[in-house]
Amino acid sequence: MATTFAKAAEKSAPATHAARIGHVSKSFPGPSGQQLVLDDITLDVAPGEFVTLLGASGCGKSTLLNLVAGLDSPSEGTIETPGGRPALMFQEHALFPWLTAGKNIELALRLRGVPRQERGDRAEELLDLVRLSGAYGKRVHELSGGMRQRVALARALAQDSQLLLMDEPFAALDAITRDVLHDELTRVWRETRLSVLFVTHNVREAVRLAERVVLLSSRPGRVAREWTVDIPQPRRIEDSAVAELSVEITEQLRGEIRRHGQR
């Protein structure tokens, strides 16, 4: 009883951040001893904020996201997600192919403890939210790549988490589908007021989506620089303001890549 009350009190206190990454370092065992992948990363995501994490391939973006997700532990430093376990979405949709779109979402609802009689309606609502009404009974192989990522987004939203972690979720899609999903994600984010930490190595995508872009250096990954994106939403990827800021960020990213001899 006391625990329940403490939890309720905790929930009602306004959180100052959705995620707090404090002086986080991460090393993995390598052929010549421990390899430092992330070095002293400090970063907050505010409630309702949309942050993109940008960096060259191999700089540690997924490693950092996995730490925030609680899938791995930092070697040093602390990670707090006061709103509870974050929802996750990857490049691969990771839907169960033997379940329909609706049942994939219902599974997430069941794991969250939503009563059976409410799950069907809630799954339909979530499919509406990602503009997939009518897809409830469709199996994964009947859906296009873009539709699968919409279902994956609906399933992530089914977790009712305050923080959504996304690791290059649109990287495998063609440019037009990706563009449509950028619009959808922006709309869903504004409607739900979720906090989003979105990983990408696509500069335009980072600027198109985020309120703040954080650039990581490579080997080891450190916060190299960050930009507040003041361009009003909804934005288009071809907007001149998006292009202008992208050019500036790309220059910095190129500098990081040159410094560390990556592609």
Ligand X SMILES: Nc1ncnc2c1ncn2[C@@H]1O[C@H](COP(=O)(O)OP(=O)(O)OP(=O)(O)O)[C@@H](O)[C@H]1O
Report the interface residues with ligand X, using CB under 6 A: 28, 37, 55, 57-63, 201
Q: Smaller CB distance to Mg ion: residue 123 or 215?
A: 215
Residue 96 interacts with which of Mg ion, ligand X, none, CB < 5 to 8 Å by class: none
Q: Smaller CB distance to ligand X: residue 60 or 83?
A: 60
Relative to beta strand 212-216, strand 50-54 is parallel
- Closest approach, Cβ 110 to Mg ion, in A, equals 29
- Torsion, Cα 76 81 84 86, to 10 degrees, reads -90
CB 171 within 8 A of CB 146: no
Using rule CB under 5 A, residue 27 touches Mg ion: no
- Closest approach, Cβ 12 to Mg ion, in A, equals 36
Q: Smaller CB distance to Mg ion: residue 162 or 217?
A: 217
- Closest approach, Cβ 241 to ligand X, in A, equals 26
Q: At what angle do helices 145-158 and 175-192 cross, to 10 degrees?
A: 20
Residue 58 interacts with which of ligand X, Mg ion, none, CB < 5 to 8 Å by class: ligand X
Distance CA 47, CA 81 (A): 11
Q: At what angle do helices 116-129 and 145-158 cross, to 10 degrees?
A: 130
Q: Smaller CB distance to Mg ion: residue 54 or 229?
A: 54
CA angle 187, 202, 237 (to 5 degrees): 45
Q: Smaller CB distance to ligand X: residue 59 or 140?
A: 59
Q: Smaller CB distance to Mg ion: residue 27 or 233?
A: 27
Residue 37 interacts with which of ligand X, Mg ion, none, CB < 5 to 8 Å by class: ligand X
- Closest approach, Cβ 170 to ligand X, in A, equals 14
**Interface with Mg ion: number of residues (CB under 5 A):** 1
Residue 28 interacts with which of ligand X, Mg ion, none, CB < 5 to 8 Å by class: ligand X
Residue 55 interacts with which of ligand X, Mg ion, none, CB < 5 to 8 Å by class: ligand X
Please report, as residue ranges, which positions from 45 to 84 form the binding site for Mg ion (by CB under 5 A). Answer: 62
Q: At what angle do helices 101-111 and 145-158 cross, to 10 degrees?
A: 20
Residues that bind Mg ion (CB under 5 A): 62
